[in-house]
Structure 1
Amino acid sequence: MKACQKETVVLLREARSMMRNDVDARAIACLDKAIEALESEDGTAEGRASSRRAALYWLGKALRWIPALKILFEDFM
């Protein structure tokens, strides 16, 4: 895992630890999956690409369940 990716995992873990009860449990579960995806990289170029795609997918899902962002998304729909 590269330094940038390690830093990303640290920051995601920090963000997760600061989430309060007003955040939907689904957001926390998706964030956990994003962290797992980044940590499960196997070191190959294909593995890195796959883990990053999965992490972005789960981050996108998590953002949908954070109340303040959910309101913004609803305004645009």
Structure 2
Amino acid sequence: MTQHSPASLRPHAHGSGVREPGQPGGQTAGTQALGFVLCRHLLRMPPVAALSPAEAVAWLAPTFQRYLTGAQ
């Protein structure tokens, strides 16, 4: 597997709508993902556990996009 450092990926992200380092986004997306996993797999909360994979993606995708790109 090829290893990439954040510095090597930065030129590819520039202009793609991805937030610059130091801006919030990745941490909040990670927190959202962990919360979803906690609710779905550990707590087995019925509304979240009952979602199909496609429904889960449709539900989470706008949130991740907003966290990672700042787009509304």
**TM-score scaled to structure 2, two decimals?**
0.37
Larger C-alpha radius of gyration, 1 or 2? 2
Name whichever structure is richer in helix by fraction: 1
Bigger relative contact order (CA 8 A; separation at least 6): 2
TM-score, normalised relative to structure 1: 0.35
